[in-house]
Each structure stands twice: as structure tokens, then as C-alpha cells.
Amino acid sequence: MELKVIGLVCQENSTEEIAAKLGIGKRTVEGHRRNIIKKMGVRNSVGILFFAIKNGLFQI
């Protein structure tokens, strides 16, 4: 599920849009985003994007 959230974050989707696309609640998306940020050691969504590109999780 976190990989799907990463992909949608990298595609500039908002929390609400991600929740709707995955059929989960906004708070669940926020929890996934917090976990992703912690695991990646980044500070925000831009950090998620850079990490994902650098590590082959997302391509432009």
C-alpha cells in the first residue's frame, strides 16, 4: 500500500485524492505518508519524490 501512496504522492495527488483513488480514509493516507517519511528519512513530499526517483521507485 505504501508503494501506491508513494506513486500517487509523486504524481502530485493531494491526500484527499489519494484516499479516493485507493478507497481508504484521509487519516489512513496521512499515516502512510508519515511512515514513508520516517522510513525514507526525508522531511516532506518533495523529499519523498527525490528519494523515489533516486532509488528507482518512480520515473519522470
Residue ranges in the chain modelled with pLDDT below 50: none
Q: Which pLDDT belongs to residue 60?
A: 86
Q: Which pLDDT belongs to residue 31?
A: 98
Q: Which pLDDT belongs to residue 48?
A: 98
| 1 and 22 Cβ atoms separated by less than 8 Å | yes
User: What domains, with CATH codes, occur in the chain?
Assistant: 2-54 (1.10.10.10)
- Rounded CA-CA distance 11/49 in Å is 9
Q: Which grid cell sits at 6? A: 508513494
The CA dihedral of 51, 1, 20, 49, to the nearest 10 degrees, is 0
